[in-house]
Structure 1
Amino acid sequence: MPNPTFGEKNAHSLIASLPVLKRIPKHPHVAFIKEIERGGVDRSDLAEPLGEIFHERRTIARPRLGSLFLLAAYFDVDISLLLTNPRMTAKQCDLGFRLTLPRTVHRKIPRTREERREAIEIALRRTVQGPAPYPSFAEFSREHGMHEQTIFRHFPRLSRELISKRSRSIEKLRSSEAGRIDASLRKFLDRGEINLSKEAIRSTALSCRSSICQVRKAWKRLRVAQQG
């Protein structure tokens, strides 16, 4: 896109480099920061825009992926290089940086415990009563900033209902997928074909919106059933 959102550029770079990321040095962000400091940058000048990454600790905290994106965006370096060769990346980056970082947006959460509990109950009820697809219980908990066990303890009936509806929804989708695959593969059996080519399996998977692995399993099952 012409104007990528924060982290999007480095996310694409990171995904593209995953096959060749064989070994990542321990705490690459720490090595990068130390090399930057050797170049004359004062740590205190970086504490405000980069926050948690630069705090002194007795033991080094493991950074979140978002923190690494922030570090790469601030210094305008490629995140895959930051992970694999942090010292060399720090030496090569332009120290004339003063990029405009995205404004911090605080989540609007209710202040009191009772207000938070009420808000989560409303959201949980709305999710359960809404249409599929349903989020997993873990996804719902992360989205609303409360631990799964806490939500389940306060709202056991609604929690069980969400878990049950998601399971039924997934089972329905899997059943529909299996039906599409079987219908497509039976056409090959009706024509008397015994062995399917890779291209036929691949095209069947695409047309059925499934995986090649699922198509192969279904073909094997149908062949065994036919021979039996």
Structure 2
Amino acid sequence: MPLPAPLDGAEAVVFDAYGTLLDVHSAVQRHAAAVGPQAQALSETWRQKQLEYSWVLSLCGHYAPFWTLTERALDFALAKHPQVDRAVRGDLLEAYRALDAYPEVPGTLDALRRMGLRTTILSNGDTAMLAAAVKAAGIETRLDAVLSVDPAGTFKTSARAYDLAPERLGVARERIAFLSSNRWDIAGAAAYGFAPVWVNRTGQPDEYPDLAPVRVIRSLDGLLA
């Protein structure tokens, strides 16, 4: 049976983790009552600064574990939203280690493996936080590898970070379909030579027209359609 169009010619499917397989806002949602009316704003600030810190460090030629950036970003978010009781900090960090997977994730991974495709995570997350995340989400047995950018010492969109997937899998980059909910990550994957599929979960407008995805889907269900 032929593979669906985005996977035609692919030997492996590589996923970003945070925001693509795992709901980054589920940590705050789990403690929304304790956080209060600023829950959504706090979660958005937390995510925005987490990513911003990774970009700035990469541009400066510096590196720190993604968990360190996650803690720093939460501290900034709590400072920006002083109405939120800082006593919730520990609970939020604990929840971030065990984020909810999106509901279609297990079934999609299973379907891809039945097609003979290898399934892998390539994430900015550090090794320890990724191990905790995939175990909590119940998807560790559905993945051939879970790759952190730690060995590269830099974050996506550096080519050194993307290099980790073809090197580990022994698959040419053009034979790898790469899925991310982050448009900047899709731009990086396109520049690198992956076949990028943008999981545009929140209906964001497109950008980076010179670094386009091969397909845009709203959830992982669309990959197999």
What's the TM-score once normalised by structure 2's chain length? 0.21
Q: Which has the higher helix share?
A: 1
Q: Which has the higher strand share?
A: 2
What's the TM-score once normalised by structure 1's chain length? 0.21
Which structure ranks higher in relative contact order (CA pairs < 8 Å, sequence separation ≥ 6)?
2
